[in-house]
Chain A
Amino acid sequence: MSFELLVALGVLFGVGFGYCVQRAGLCFAHGLGEIYMGHGTRIIRMFIVIFVITSAGFLLSGLISPSLGLKPIGQLRGFGFFNLLSGILFGAGIALNGGCILGTLRQIGEGNLAFLIVFVAFIPGLALVVYVFDPALGPSYSTQKVTLPAMLHVAAPWVTAALVSGALVWYFAVCRRK
């Protein structure tokens, strides 16, 4: 598949994502705020729906084509320390401006220009890490690509089944409590 065709299809999927996210009003930053204030039912249900459908889909994709299936996303850096650190910085950032990546893109699409400023402000943050921190830390980085099944030495379907079952129990518990 040519890169142009790949991009065209990718952008079409992006438009679909954007439409659904806008109609759902999905934003993890708002969701975390709701959880913090004790009104997290909506975002927890949304997250569980995404997790269950996507987990099952990704696992079953391996049956359709061996080149698909579960793959580690990103890297474990510095034995997980940098992942945790990046998460903390990211979490602080989204809580400060009230929009995660999804929320930022959605709000720009809805005409909220405040999030265009957030979007442009990514640039100095990205540049600082890529051009200053990375060259300094690069040699000391230990990077691994690890999935939960490989780490636990358990077959992937069992891990997915356990997590999806747990998520479904959580979903029904949240619905009953509502």
Chain B
Amino acid sequence: MELRARLKSPLFMVGYFALLNVAMYLTISKFWIGGSSFLPMIGKLGDGNKFLFAFLVNMGVIGGAFLGAYSNREFRLRMPRVNMLPKLIIGGMLIGMGVTIAPGTCTTAFVTGMPMLSVSSFLSAAGIFIGAFAVYSFTLGRR
């Protein structure tokens, strides 16, 4: 593969993503979290607005994804099908519950917590595997 194309490959993009994560910690002593960052949606901003900060970082993620999609002509407004709504709402609610019962999303566990060697993140990751596989085996098994 040509070098320029290789530098833009998904694996390299993931590498830049990881480097950015470390750079963020080094420059502003904050790391990216997923779960608790959504608490401002129910009015909980956290001590020193820490949840609000994380929420705004995640809003930046939406902006960055838009930038990536738009600049590569991949942005397309897509409406959900009506029959998908119950699944989307139940899935979203389960995510909302999961991220607050104990902090630990895929972002927190896989991207930040496990590299930080945080025991809670290893347990969250194990739970995510169990929960996801239970649903996948049920839904795929029915097809």
Interface residues of A (CB under 8 A from B): 1, 3, 6-7, 9-26, 28-29, 32-33, 36-37, 42, 45-47, 49-55, 57-58, 61, 64, 67-68, 70-78, 80, 82-98, 100-102, 104-115, 117-131, 133-134, 145-149, 151, 156, 159-160, 163
Contact = CB atoms under 8 A, between A and B. Distances in A.
Contact of A51 (B90, B104, B108, B115): B115
Contacts of B85: 117
Given A109-B64, A160-B117, 20 more contacts: A15-B63, A16-B16, A26-B10, A26-B13, A57-B115, A72-B118, A74-B113, A82-B101, A83-B104, A89-B131, A90-B104, A94-B95, A97-B88, A101-B35, A105-B61, A118-B88, A128-B93, A128-B96, A129-B101, A149-B117
Contacts of A146: 118-120
Q: Interface SS of chain A: helix, strand, loop or mixed?
A: helix
Interface string B95-111: 11111111111111111
Interface of B: 8, 10-11, 13-35, 38-39, 41-42, 44, 48-49, 53-54, 56-69, 72, 74-80, 84-85, 87-137, 139-140
B122 to A, nearest CB: 7
Contacts, number: 471
A10 B53 contact: yes
Contacts of B117: 55, 70, 147-149, 156, 159-160, 163
Interface centre among B18, B98, B121, B125 (most CB of A within 10 A): B98
B89 to A, nearest CB: 5
A95 B132 contact: yes
B59 A14 contact: yes
